[in-house]
Amino acid sequence: NAGVMQNPRHLVRRRGQEARLRCSPMKGHSHVYWYRQLPEEGLKFMVYLQKENIIDESGMPKERFSAEFPKEGPSILRIQQVVRGDSAAYFCASSPREGAGTEAFFGQGTRLTVV
Amino acid sequence: GEDVEQSLFLSVREGDSSVINCTYTDSSSTYLYWYKQEPGAGLQLLTYIFSNMDMKQDQRLTVLLNKKDKHLSLRIADTQTGDSAIYFCAEDKAAGNKLTFGGGTRVLVKP
């Protein structure tokens, strides 16, 4: 059973371009979470999705950021018109169900660099 | 200020015990977690403790929870060079896995 797979591992974008980050949860997991880690900081919650639904997007910036988790395929975090401040590591986590104490498994992250 | 706070850095000699401290603010948190992050890698869940417990031990790891002071600690016995990493504590503020992380403690184990 493969773990949470994120790709690409590293992504370089010029200012103004779009970045698309993909996350395939563990098999059997229908709950996906995205976190952002700025340099030298902890992880900050961005969004929580279940299949075809956004459950909680309270941590998403109001503009340029969007996320989806379609019925088929990976979850996508999209950042439009990237700026230097978007440079960070973006981590995806998945769990088989909701509920405190349910272990969330993290992917290895996508490190986005905006030049 | 930050909801979850940790000291930035800890240096320890191989074979000694390490103690990493964390304070949190939300008394309604039900679970508190410790994650390990090695350079360039994702987060690995080390252990977690339910809020009605005071202590949890798992091999070399001991978690202590003081609910009154909202203080959490992770003790690593017989610290090894492979334990060098960043350690994050995290709390859940709501049902599910929406975690609030501390800023991480960088642990350096010296031979």
C-alpha distance from B78 to closest chain A C-alpha (Å) = 26
DSSP code for A85: G
Q: Average pLDDT of B19-27?
A: 89
Least confident of A26-30, A75-79, B74-78: A26-30
Q: How confident is the model at residue B95 (pLDDT cuts 50, 70, 90)?
A: low
Residue A86 in 3-state DSSP? helix
C-alpha distance from B29 to closest chain A C-alpha (Å) = 9
The C-alpha angle B59, A29, B30, rounded to 5 degrees, equals 55
Residue A111 in 3-state DSSP? strand
Pick from B31, B44, B88: which is nearest to A100 by CB?
B31
- Predicted confidence (pLDDT) per residue in A30-88, tens digit: 999 999 999 878 899 999 999 889 999 999 999 999 999 999 999 999 999 999 999 99
C-alpha gyration radius of chain B: 13
Report how many Cβ contacts below 8 Å link chain A to chain B.
71
